[in-house]
Amino acid sequence: MKNVLYYKSKKVVVNTLIHLFLISVAITCLYPLLWMIISSLKTQDMIFKDVSLIPHQFRLENYSRAWQEGGFGRNFLNSIIYTVSVVFGIVIISSMAAYAFSRLRFIGSKWLFIMFMAAMMIPIPGSFVALYVLLNKLHLRNTPIGYILCMINVGLSTSIFLLKTFFDKMPKELEDAARIDGCSKLGIWWHVALPLAKPVLAVVIVFNALTVWNEYILALIIFDNRQYMPLQVALQTFQGEFVTNYPLLMAGLTITALPIIIVYLLMQKYIVKGVTQGAIVG
Amino acid sequence: MKIRQGLENYIFVLPAVTIFAVFYVIPFVWVFQLGLFEWDGISFTKTFVGLQNFKEILLQDRSWWQSMWNASYITLIALTFQNILAFMLAWACDREIKMKNFYRVIFFIPPVLSEVVVGMVWRFIINDIDGANIINHTLAGLGMPNLVHNWLSDPNTALTTVALVHCWKGFGWGFLIFLAGLQTIPRELYEAARVDGASAWQSFRKITIPLMIPIMILVAILTVLGTMQVFVLIVSLVGGEFAGHTSVPVLRILASMRGSSRFGYACAQGITFGIVLVAISFIQYRFSKKNQ
Amino acid sequence: MLIRSAVLCIFAIFSVLGCSGQKIDSKPTITVWHWMTDRDPAFQVLAKKYEALTGTRVNFELYAPSDAYSQKIRAAAQGINLPDVFGILGEKRDFAAFIKAGHILDITPYMEADNSVWKNKFFPKALAVNEFSPDNSYGINPGIFGVPIDIMTIQMVYNKKLFKELGLNPNRPPKTFQELLDIGVKISAAGGSASGGKSAGMQGLVSGWGEVWMIDCLANNYAFNIMGKDKVLATIKGEIPYTDPDWIQVFSVFKQMQESGILAKGIVTMINKSAEQLFANEKAVFAFNGSWCVNVYKGMNANLEYGAMLPPEVSDKYPIAIWGGAGSSFMVNARSKNKEEAVKFLSWLTDQDQQAYLAQETNNLPANKNSLSKIPEILAQFARGMDYATHPNVWGVSEFSLVIEAFDRGIQSIIIGEKTPEQVAAEVQKIKERELAKKRAR
């Protein structure tokens, strides 16, 4: 009798401690987000005087003002187009390459992979100027395609690295079965490898979406046309040279953070659920 | 037949290699050779100085090595505190507990926020003059008034505070990857261990850790690469290099490019930085190969 | 099937996006790239006005923040793709480099045409920043290469209400350094820089000294006050070492400020925006900032009662100097196809009415002498400081950037109590000698 009670209470205590731990970390994560949202609902002079978290003002018009003054409509669309194109491009290109590095044999595969790895590790300072001049020569400078290609390159190395690591661990039976069934290499990649890689693909999608969505300096340097600018560049207009309109800025930042949170919400269940579904018992 | 097969395989990597060659290799070569010149970034003429820039970095540039030291310090804290925290949280969420999904979403909010916002908000939370001094109030309220401190304005604690804020922002990624990894471990292994009479600690040590090592190495490599390049956070938290105390390599490179108008020197710094990163990652990679 | 339709979709999107639709316009268009977010609405109004007046379209494009703008300009310069009108945010040597690379039109002939009618509209100090004098060390043929569109000065401001609280006369700001230090002692006594769990009270001087150039500015102001302009320039030229007692006195100024408690806590970690926020919220008694702050404070706290003053003098041998001159300037692209139009537009933009409009809308001091009538009193106080104004861009020589960096960082170390003035002086001098040696070797 005593033993059962002991184990039961021990379990309760341990679980409570775990919950306390999780909740305290969650609070530190939530606080800044709440602060951002509450600040976006205040007016410029109140934002510094009133430092409590409890909202006294609900200036929802800050959001519509931010949207209009920042010209968010067009820029928001641009950001979505860029993010979707780049992520799509990276998923296809990097998974094909990672699959090849992992499963296919060809001359120079080892060295090519090392080059990609090295690229991941060596940042290039001042690459903006180089890319500007390069795109200029290719007549792709003030075009969305030029920007999209540059951004695909940015995420390529890390995505290939993540995917190859996963493909290396993938059991070969399913692929062998498909090959016996007469599937082409491309078919195996599309029908076998990719579905199994869903969790890693989800990480790749979230990672690259975040990178592209938050990027602004390359866009600002490459584009001369307001029409092509992504959202982050429009946001900078609130961080004026001398005056910072904090509530509008916070509203703008909240608007910017929302789509990425949505992407994450959509993807995160693949990362975890997909893994347990796809877990292949040896 | 074999040649055709070989060629077929190339098609898989062709798009990646093409984009890579154009958008990375070409700029890389341009920047690489610029390290051998003295150039202000504007003129159409450059002065060839050979390895002079590199000599200067290695022998004379104390502020560069200070920045490398600071970045390594932040990275070390990230590798230990941040990743251990991420692992513990992932392990806690791996168990059958309620609100798992809620935590999974909440913990990923910090990585989603931009570095500027994170810096601004935490500066507000920590500072007492231009902020709400919440940390100090909490410490005093919890009965530890002697721990109250100017975390960000004291040069001795500024770097550590920045490192901790960086950990806060970064642990979400490690958490995600660790959780994914933990979920691949078949439950049957734990069941079998329990039936055999193993305690929770023993099954953790003998099952969980060994299976997670490859993932831990992966996270470690990504952590090092990401953390060594931190800089936006530092500017929004402490306004800059704080007399060298919060100096980091990227800020030094930017200072060479913009402040001193020495583009060639900045490229040389960038190359040196790249070499160090490659060396560290190489060591980590080799370590992981050994443990497989 | 799915792949095929996906690929088609992508192709469709790309082909639509790939076109950067070029329209051919019969009207001349001038493109202006600028970074001044708060002035963009005013610029757009003026652009429309100009188009109605002359038929020439003016396209103001805003790229912010300013360091992103400066990178864009440099990238465009490399690609020889600069717009008709733009600004260079950088030091005189960058300006010189741009001119040497052929990017900037020499507008001296336009300025001096008709008996210098355009040139004489400006405050001489505003033009000086855009001018290269006959004996300049940059190797540029003397002339005017930029058009100032506003002027600014960097001075100190003080909060009148807090002055009253401290028992000081709000109409009599400190004139000597010692008075400033005494006020510092008063502020500390009032529990200003106290640490501990309670919130800090009133702070003394705030400024964005995390951004090192502001430290450089004040240090330089005091250098002029202590040893006079000639000795400062001689030091830059390498004739006098930084270990000279006068320079040590300059460094000690900061030590004394720190010890008296006049400096706000954590001033070395502040960016200028935080400093502006603190002063606007009446948490600081003094601020060291430029005349652009008038617009900033107005937006943050319209009821702020404050006045402008010169930095209190340390010595009475030489007058105190402040940095001032052109705030923002525009240059004309020498390779532009619309050079003449661009110059005409700039001439109109700096005319009396347009300058008065800009001054009113954005609370910046006009560059045109005749537009000063309707500015608010606080701006007028800043304007009066112009008599004492100087600027590194008018001295004809530049200090090595590594020396400036060591100088500013050294002062930061003095403020946080890590180094003594003598130590910093020795370090700065060492770097100076190294740079001089490098220069001689070339």
- What is the distance in angstroms between the Cα of C127 and the nearest Cα belonging to chain B? 23
**Residue A255: pLDDT over 70:** yes
Count of other CB atoms within 10 angstroms of residue C23: 4
pLDDT 10s digits, A216-245? 889 988 998 888 988 888 777 666 544 566
**Residue C203: pLDDT over 80:** yes
**Residue A281: pLDDT over 50:** no
In chain C, the number of structural domains is: 2
In this structure, are C98 and C185 located in the same domain? no
**HEC profile of B230-278:** CCHHHHHHHCCCHHHCCCCHHHHHHHHHHHCCCHHHHHHHHHHHHHHHH
Q: Chains touching chain C at 3 or more Cβ pairs under 8 angstroms?
A: A, B
Is residue B25 one of the residues assigned to a domain?
no
In this structure, are C280 and C338 located in the same domain? no
In this structure, are C230 and C345 located in the same domain? no
In this structure, are C160 and C75 located in the same domain? no
Is residue C169 one of the residues assigned to a domain?
yes
- Report d(CA C13, CA C22) in Å as an integer: 18
Low-confidence winner among C11-15, C344-348, C365-369 (lowest mean pLDDT): C11-15
Sign of CA dihedral B208, B211, B215, B216: positive
- What is the distance in angstroms between the Cα of B14 and the nearest Cα belonging to chain C? 17
Are A118 and A53 in contact by the 8 Å Cβ rule? The answer is: no
pLDDT 10s digits, C180-194? 999 999 888 876 544
- Report d(CA A206, CA B173) in Å as an integer: 10
Mean pLDDT of chain A: 81
B33 touches chain A (CB under 8 A): no
Taking Cα atoms as reference points, which of B27, B29, B65 lies closest to residue B272?
Answer: B65
Domain span holding position C285: 153-193+201-324+397-441
In this structure, are C159 and C177 located in the same domain? yes
More confident residue, C8 or B245: B245
pLDDT at C424: 95
CB pairs under 8 A between B and C: 107
Mutate to test the interface with A, among B8, B9, B223 (most CBs of A within 10 A): B9
Q: Which range, A34-38, A272-276, B61-65, is most confident? A: B61-65
Picking from C74, C409, C434, the nearest residue to B41 by CB comes out as C74
Q: Chains touching chain A at 3 or more Cβ pairs under 8 angstroms?
A: B, C
CA distances from C143 to B61, C79, C342, C392 (A): 38, 26, 18, 17
Is it true that the peptide bond before C65 is cis, omega within 30 degrees of 0?
A: yes
Q: What is the mean pLDDT of residues B157-176?
A: 91
**Residue B291: pLDDT over 70:** no
pLDDT at A267: 83
User: Using 50, 70 and 90 to split pLDDT, how confident is the model at C61?
Assistant: very high
In chain B, the number of structural domains is: 1
What is the phi/psi pair of residue A272, to 5°? -100, -50
pLDDT at A51: 56
- Assign residue A108 a region (left: φ > 0; alpha: ψ between -120 and 50; beta: otherwise): left
pLDDT 10s digits, A104-131? 888 888 888 988 988 888 877 778 888 9
Mutate to test the interface with A, among B112, B222, B252, B253 (most CBs of A within 10 A): B112
pLDDT 10s digits, C240-276? 999 999 999 999 999 999 999 899 988 998 888 888 8
In this structure, are C266 and C283 located in the same domain? yes
Predicted TM-score of the model (pTM): 0.86
* Residues on chain B touching A53 (C-beta within 8 angstroms): none
Q: What is the mean pLDDT of residues A245-271?
A: 80
A264 touches chain C (CB under 8 A): no
Is residue B45 one of the residues assigned to a domain?
no
**Residue A16: pLDDT over 50:** yes
Query: CB within 8 A of C269, min separation 6: which ones?
Result: B152, B153, B158, B237, B238, B239, B240, B242, C210
Superfamily, domain A71-237: MetI-like (1.10.3720.10)
Are B109 and A31 in contact by the 8 Å Cβ rule? The answer is: no
Is residue B8 one of the residues assigned to a domain?
no
pLDDT 10s digits, C397-407? 889 989 999 99
The share of chain C scoring above pLDDT 90, in percent, equals 56
Strand partners, C148: C329
Q: What is the mean pLDDT of residues B239-244?
A: 84
**Residue A282: pLDDT over 60:** no
**Residue B78: pLDDT over 70:** yes
Mean pLDDT of chain C: 87
B84 touches chain A (CB under 8 A): no
Is residue C78 one of the residues assigned to a domain?
yes
In this structure, are C76 and C172 located in the same domain? no
Sign of CA dihedral C74, C77, C81, C86: positive
* Residues on chain A touching B28 (C-beta within 8 angstroms): 119, 122, 124
Is residue B193 one of the residues assigned to a domain?
yes
The share of chain C scoring above pLDDT 70, in percent, equals 92
Token pair in block for residue A9: 């209470």
More confident residue, C156 or C369: C156
More confident residue, A19 or A67: A19
Domain span holding position B195: 57-290
More confident residue, C362 or B180: C362
* Residues on chain A touching C1 (C-beta within 8 angstroms): none
Q: What is the CATH number of the domain that holds C429?
A: 3.40.190.10
C284-290 and C203-206: which strand pairing? Answer: parallel
Contact C296 A243 (CB under 8 A): yes
**Residue B22: pLDDT over 50:** yes
**Domain parsing of chain A, residue ranges:** 71-237
**Residue A268: pLDDT over 80:** no
pLDDT at C344: 93
Token pair in block for residue A57: 């003002």
Contact A29 B267 (CB under 8 A): no
Q: Hey, which residues 42-81 in chain B have their CB within 8 Å of chain A?
A: none
Is residue B10 one of the residues assigned to a domain?
no
Query: Nearest-CA residue of chain C relative to A247?
Result: C300
Is residue B224 one of the residues assigned to a domain?
yes
Contact B40 C94 (CB under 8 A): yes
Is residue B32 one of the residues assigned to a domain?
no
Token pair in block for residue B35: 């390290």
Is residue B73 one of the residues assigned to a domain?
yes
Q: What is the CATH number of the domain that holds B207?
A: 1.10.3720.10
pLDDT at B121: 80
* Residues on chain C touching B262 (C-beta within 8 angstroms): 401
**Residue C10: pLDDT over 70:** no
Is residue C167 one of the residues assigned to a domain?
yes
Q: List, in sequence order, the alpha helices (H) in B21-147.
A: 26-34, 52-55, 62-77, 83-94, 100-106, 109-112, 115-126, 134-141
pLDDT 10s digits, C121-152? 998 888 988 999 888 888 899 999 999 999 99
Is residue C2 one of the residues assigned to a domain?
no
In this structure, are C180 and C124 located in the same domain? no
